[in-house]
Each structure stands twice: as structure tokens, then as C-alpha cells.
Structure 1
Amino acid sequence: MTDETIPVIDIEKISEQFECKKLRDACEKWGCFRIINHSIPLTLMAEMRMVVEALHDLPMDIKKNNKDVISGRAMHDFCSQLNVTPHQRKIMETYGKAIHNVALKIGQKIAESIGILDADFEDWPCQYRINKYHFTSESIGSLGGSLHTDSGFLTILQDDENVGGLKVMDNSDSFVSVPPFHGTLLANLGDIAQVWSNGRFCNVKHHIQCKEATIRSIATFMLGPRKGNIETPKELMDLDHPRLYQPFTYEEYRTLRDSINKAGDKYLQTGEVFELLRLIQ
């Protein structure tokens, strides 16, 4: 265990040179950072947590109607399957729009921090997942999932404000605890961010350790472009930094990642999939 703490990025100051450098350093060294002053009202965040708690408390036969992440285009189906009330749906839609705007702004600022001024993430869809780890008192100290990286470009997490448990791996392969921080969001960079940046950004490895019997979180995943390929901007390549990965679509990546998953393990070692991505033509 190290005594380091992950960086904190102030969105209100993100256009300032010092904060922009902090963001770039966080992406390169950590692949994760806390977001403060993100403009999402604390009341909306609290209301969203209440909706999530109510959905998790639904009878199991109703919850089984939906087992996937929520894409922006599937909100109607999700609400119908779980008998969501009009008020709950309004909160989810309002929160979804707000967190999507934050994801777009963060993506743009990440690109600007390394000199990419014309990056456009408008066509990069987001998905939402509401998680609940069904720990018991006997499982305190155990892991809620294997050590893994996220598959997309950016994950923004509203974590449980009362229960910690998230641990990230730093660049010395030591685990660092990420304690709750009221009113903030947590950003993780995924595999697509490392590919897009030509290996400059860190796709942070992380997992959840049980601290109490129940942990909830609300995750937003910015994936990859809906149309076209994922490829490194020309500004990040030169004679000393040749292209590491051939262009590919996000769907190609997901198919490849799923196809080489280890038996009995939901996640895979990122290095294996990256070596195969180098071969995609």
C-alpha cells in the first residue's frame, strides 16, 4: 500500500494552465482523478442515488427483466421493464443529460491537455450502469471483481459516499485506496483512451474490496465513436512516436476482448488484447 492519493481536478479552473497540466499528468501517471466543481447539483446527485436505491430494492422477479447497461437510446425499454415511475424517469433522464455533458467536457479537456484542439466526442455514445455489490458480513475484505481495466475511453463514477472500497493500481503496481469524497465524481480512463493517445495515457487497473455488506455506485461509460474508427490523432505521432495501433472500431474491440476472456473470469489482461489490436487491419 502507498500513501499517495489520486489527483483532484477542478473543472471550474480546468482552462487554466496549472489545472490543465494537472489533468494531463493525472491521465499519464494515474489514469484516474477526482472531479470537483462539476456543475451537477448535489440535490440531483442525491435524488439519483435515491432512485437507484429504490430500483435495487425492487423484487427480484422484476429486476431480472433488465440485466444490461442503459444506453441513452434504451431508456424507454429500461423504464418499462422495471415499472419506473414518471418521477424516477425524469430524474434519470436529467441526471443522464448532466453527466453526459460532464463526460463530453472532460473528454475535450483531456484532448486539449495534450494539444488536440479539434477533438470531437459528440458521436461517442455513453452507457450507464447502476451497480450493487451483494456482499455479506462474511465477505468483508473480499473482492467484488477481478482486477481489470474499463473497455471504453472514459468512465465517470458517482460512488457510494458512505462506503469506500475502490482500489486503483499506480505505476509502481501498488494499490491505492480511493476513499469516498462527498459531492465529487471519479473519472477512470479505459483501454480506448490508451489506444487513442498512442500509449501516452494510463488505462487504470482497479477493483472493489468489500468494506461493508452493501456498496452501490452509478457509472457512466463513454465508449468509442458510434461511426468510424478509433485511431490516434496525427499530432501524437512522429518519428520518435510511431503509430502503435491500427485503426479499429469499438465493436471490433469489444468482440475481440470478449473472445479472449479467460474461462471463469469476466475480465482479461489488457496486454493480451492490445497485442491483438496491433494486428487489426
Structure 2
Amino acid sequence: MEFERDHNTSSSSLPSLCKQLASSTLRGSLEPHIPVVDLSASDEDLVVRAVVKASEEWGIFQVVNHGIPTELMQQLQVVGKQFFDLPEAEKEAVAKEEDFEGYKRNYLEGIKAWDEHLFHRIWPPSCINYKYWPKNPPQYREVNEEYTRHMKKLTEKILGWLSEGLGLSPVALTKSLGGEMAEYVIRVNFYPPSPKSELALGAAVHTDIGAITLLVPNEVPGLQVFKDEQWLDLEYINSAVVVIIGDQLMVWLIVLFSYFPLYFLG
């Protein structure tokens, strides 16, 4: 379940925006760290409390020992990169039409925003339209279907822990989002090198519009979180999965925890 809400930014405002972001980014030993939750803890109550606390105070956290094989996460990134390396004509074969699914390059008033992405449904099977799934590389479908099985299982675990933290039945949030018919989508992002680094802005400031996002990052830094009037860098942890509470779940948190939304740049 991964959706993004991007706020439009004009090309003329990019240099000043980049300077503002740089000046307001907090780095160093005093920088607050985005929480990391180890899901292998033997005491599940500790995991529940850690997930709820991170969601309440941050709205974003990383999970380790989550059950998704590291090799599979690497394969997911490899097939994604192989797709973006294809000639433009091949990528356009799965380009967006009127639907939100498919391949797209983002531009800001004629200046490339250094963002290409591939977006399509991965669950439930009845909602999948394979015309938006690349045929090249050949392993793309197999890798994505295997990743979907693991990702769906992890998502339901996290929703279950959040449900318990909200004082609800463990399946309450999963059911409220549609249960087995809840729609899951994947967005594969690619940020090519920019010829003008001062204008490089891979993704504009945004919140995630869905319920929950599971992000598989790579070692290239970029994702930042706005908290307490500062932009904070996400520390890359090999094989970790980044969990972002989306707008739908944020409504629950606002009501029950007086929680206020964070904004993301990455």
C-alpha cells in the first residue's frame, strides 16, 4: 500500500528551496535518530511497544530482522535498475495512460526533476494488470511476486501490532483497510545523476497518502524527515526496511495520540 502525495514546486524556486533544506538539515552527534526496531525480540510485547512508540513519536521507523530475505531485497533493486537502464522506447511500452499505473518521468516546467518511477498494483491478484509489469528484465515478475508475499506478511504484522497498541483487536486495522482485498502497490524509484546538482530534487516535500509504506532503500542517501523544525537524514542500515505511517493511519494516531504529521523529502 504505497502512495505518495507530491506538492508541486516550480523550477524557479528550486535553488532557494535546496538552500533552505541544506540550512535547516540537522547533522552531527546531537542529531535525533529515527527509531530502529528489532523484530526478532523474543518478547513480542516489547516489539509492540516499540512499534507503537515509534509510530506515535515519529511516524517513521526502520525495522531489522523482519523476515524478508536480504537476497530478495537485493534482487528487487537489481531488476528495478535493469528496467531503468533500458532504452526509453522499451520503458515507454509500460508508460502511464489515464491510470496511475505504469512508467513515468517527472519534470518541473521543462526541467527534469531527476525522478523516474514505475508504479503498479501487486495485490490482490484480481486487481493486477500485468500490462504495466515490464517483460524485460525477464525476472521482474518472479522477483516482485516473491517480494509481495513477504512484504504483505510484514505489513499485516505491523498493522497487527499497531492495532494492539490502539487497544483494538490484532486484525482491526487490516480488516478496516480491506483485509485480503486491500490494494497493495509498488513504486520503484530511480534518481539519475543530475547535470545541475544545485537543482537536484528527486522528490518534492510530501506525505504518503496511503495507510502504510514499506520502503527498501539503498546505500545512496537522500530521504529526510521533517521533525521539530529540522530536516533529519535517514541513516542507511543494510537490509533494513523503512516503515512510514501514511495519511490514512495518521488519522487514527491524531485522534488517539494527538500525533501530528511529518513530511518527507527523498
Query: Which residue, 130, 146, 154 being the options, matches 1:76?
Result: 130
Cα deviation, residue 179, structure 1: 2.2
TM-score by length of structure 1 reads 0.67
Cα deviation, residue 47, structure 1: 1.1
User: Are 1:144 and 2:202 an aligned pair?
Assistant: yes
Aligned to 1:58, the other structure's residue is in SS state coil
Query: Which residue, 19, 29, 33 being the options, matches 1:5?
Result: 33
Aligned to 2:172, the other structure's residue is in SS state coil
Contact 1:164 1:178 in 2 (8 A): yes
Counterpart residue type for residue 33 of structure 1 = F
Query: Any unmatched runs of 5+ in structure 2?
Result: 1-25, 102-118
RMSD: 2.1
Aligned to 2:206, the other structure's residue is in SS state coil
CA spacing shift, 1:87–1:102, aligned 2, 3 Å? same
Task: State, as a whole percentage, how many aligned pairs show the same letter.
Answer: 25
CA spacing shift, 1:140–1:35, aligned 2, 3 Å? farther
User: Are 1:102 and 2:159 an aligned pair?
Assistant: no
- Could you report, residue by residue, the CA deviation over 1:65-99 in whole angstroms, capped at 9, with x for unpaired residues? 333221023352223xx323553311111112211
Query: Which residue, 238, 257, 265 being the options, matches 1:182?
Result: 238
Cα deviation, residue 16, structure 1: 2.8
Counterpart residue type for residue 120 of structure 2 = I
User: Are 1:133 and 2:191 an aligned pair?
Assistant: yes
2:22 alignment partner in structure 1 = none
Compare 54-63 and 140-149 and name the one that shifted more: 140-149
Contact 2:226 2:264 in 1 (8 A): yes
Cα deviation, residue 5, structure 1: 0.4
Aligned to 2:238, the other structure's residue is in SS state coil
Greater per-residue strand proportion: 2
User: Are 1:34 and 2:87 an aligned pair?
Assistant: no
- Could you report, residue by residue, the CA deviation over 1:132-184 in whole angstroms, capped at 9, with x for unpaired residues? 12341532684322211110110110012x211110012x1211100211011
Aligned to 2:207, the other structure's residue is in SS state coil
2:225 alignment partner in structure 1 = 168
In 1, Cα distance between the equivalents of 2:66 and 2:155?
10
Cα deviation, residue 116, structure 1: 1.4
In 2, Cα distance between the equivalents of 1:15 and 1:66?
46
Query: Which residue, 140, 145, 148 being the options, matches 1:93?
Result: 145
In 2, Cα distance between the equivalents of 1:85 and 1:55?
6
User: Are 1:197 and 2:253 an aligned pair?
Assistant: yes
In 2, Cα distance between the equivalents of 1:115 and 1:87?
42
Counterpart residue type for residue 46 of structure 2 = F
In 1, Cα distance between the equivalents of 2:49 and 2:76?
32
Higher relative contact order (CA 8 A, sep 6+): 2
Cα deviation, residue 206, structure 1: 0.6
In 1, Cα distance between the equivalents of 2:66 and 2:138?
26
1:212 alignment partner in structure 2 = none
User: Are 1:17 and 2:45 an aligned pair?
Assistant: yes
User: After the TM superposition, which residues 36-55 of structure 1 pair with which residues of structure 2 at under 5 Å, given as runs?
Assistant: 36-55=64-83
